[in-house]
Amino acid sequence: ILRRAIEAMPEQPFDYIVIDTPPNLNVVSVNILAACSGFILPIALDVFAFLGIKLLENTLAELRVNLRIPIPLIGVLATLHDNTIESRERLQQVRAYYGDLVFPTVIPVNVKVKEANDQHVLYDYAPKSSGAIAYTRFVEEVIARVER
């Protein structure tokens, strides 16, 4: 449904559409995956980092077969890096598993990001915060990867 709605637009006044979905696979998330030309997989570097990945991979494989669409993985974004030994080890595991698909930029834990999520746009609220700087670098990396 979403794919048809996007394709039916008379003019596409944008280069990219970014849709942030909840971390669970429900009908809405599946509809969005079916409509996308590629997706980015964020992985929080916490104790639950790898729990849902196998489920997601199985679901994507089924969607690719059943819907006959590729749904390519553009890349993997490591988030909630807190510079602890555990976080660094999880980042190494993510990089070992996904290789070059992992974006170089890692999003740190940052209180300004959490505060901005409640009621502000991060770039208005704390444009010089480590979170805002990391997200800016990440967007630049995404654009470079998609356009090559």
CA–CA dist 43, 77 (Å, integer): 6
CA–CA dist 142, 148 (Å, integer): 10
**pLDDT score of 23:** 76
Tell me if 74 sits within 8 A of 145, measured CB to CB: yes
Type of residue at 135: Y
Q: Which of 146, 69, 57, 144 has its CA nearest to residue 97?
A: 57
Cα R_g (the chain), whole angstroms: 16
CA–CA dist 90, 98 (Å, integer): 12
**pLDDT score of 43:** 93
**pLDDT score of 93:** 93
**pLDDT score of 26:** 83
Looking at residue 128, what DSSP letter applies? T
Residues, the chain: 148
**pLDDT score of 87:** 94
**Mean pLDDT by groups of 10 residues along the chain of 148 residues:** 80 78 81 88 86 84 89 94 94 95 96 88 93 96 93
**pLDDT score of 37:** 86
- Sorted by sequence, the CB contacts under 8 Å of residue 116 that are 6+ apart come out as 122, 125, 126
